Amino acid sequence: MANSRIYMVAGLGNPGGKYAQTRHNIGFSVVDSLLRHYCLPPEKSRFDADYSKGVINGLNVVLMKPQAYMNRSGPPVQKLASYFKIQVSDIIVVHDDLDLDFGRLRIAGNRGHGGHNGIRSIIEALGTKAFVRIRVGVGRPQGQRDVTGHVLGRFSSEEKGALDTLVTRSAEACVSVMERGVSATMNAYNTKK
């Protein structure tokens, strides 16, 4: 029997087919992976977010994808968390990170936005940075390519070969945070690859 505590996994990205499968939308991919793997109910829409409420390994969860653009991710996260009475410390945000090489994961809690507009918006909306982050490495662009073009671009053919593994590991890290806590998950996942 699941207890009354509810966790939220918020995967960040931009809505619409134009942005599907881009580096910036890796958070959406991780939430979709969790939805499929754990056979959660079909998504509903509320507060400018697509979400599904269900149970993963006996834990109550809300999986959500904000449908405002990345830099306005905060209000949908805050409103849905408030609606389901989810504690800030039980919110796990999954997002792309330029400062990590492709394939690297970093679990972090209570840190600044690091220049990520989605995280900046969430910190502003929640009024705190005391949530958990799963930072998914997408690497920096090579040569002269600009950062915006890189994060809004699609994965290279080489990256695509490793993408399923990266998304699966990121999804497993989300479940680990809920089951084992942040410290144990950091020890397990904050490694080279």
pLDDT digits (tens, 9 = 90+) for 95-149: 999 989 999 999 998 888 888 999 999 999 999 999 999 999 998 877 666 788 8
Supply the pLDDT for residue 1.
41
Q: Residue 141: its pLDDT value, please?
A: 79
The pTM score is: 0.94
Structural domain includes residue 143:
yes
Would you say 104 and 191 are in contact if contact means Cβ atoms under 8 Å apart?
A: no
Name the region of 145 (left: φ>0; alpha: ψ -120 to 50; beta: rest).
beta
Q: Which domain holds residue 88?
A: 6-189
Residue 127 located in a structural domain: yes
Q: How far apart are CA 18 and CA 15, in angstroms?
A: 8
Catalytic position from the list 24, 95, 116, 150: 24
For residue 144, tell me if it sits in a domain: yes
Is 24 an active-site residue?
yes
Structural domain contains residue 1? no
| Residue 185 near residue 172, CB atoms below 8 Å | no
CB atoms within 10 A of CB 81: 24
Domain contains 125: yes
Cα torsion 13, 18, 23, 27 to 10°: value is: 30
Average pLDDT, the chain: 92
Q: Are 8 and 81 spatial neighbours (Cβ–Cβ below 8 Å)?
A: yes
| Chain Cα centroid distance, residue 13 | 8
The confidence score (pLDDT) of residue 153 equals 87
Q: Is residue 183 part of a domain?
A: yes
> Does residue 68 form part of some domain?
yes
Supply the pLDDT for residue 145.
Answer: 67
| 184 token code pair | 């144990």
How much is the pLDDT for 3? 63
Domain containing 53 — which CATH number?
A: 3.40.50.1470
Query: How many angstroms separate the CA atoms of 99 and 114, rounded?
Result: 9
Count structural domains, the chain. Answer: 1
Please name every residue paired with 11 in a beta bridge, in sequence order, or none if there are none: 94
DSSP state, residue 118: H
Mean pLDDT calculated for residue range 22-33: 95
Please state the rounded mean pLDDT for residues 135-164: 84
Domain-located, residue 169: yes
> What's the helix, strand, coil split of the chain in %, to 5?
40, 25, 35
Within its chain, how far is the Cα of 131 from the centroid?
A: 12
Q: How far apart (Å, rounded) are the C-alpha atoms in residues 13 and 27?
A: 6
Mean pLDDT of 77-104: 95
Least reliable range by pLDDT among 26-30, 96-100, 154-158: 154-158
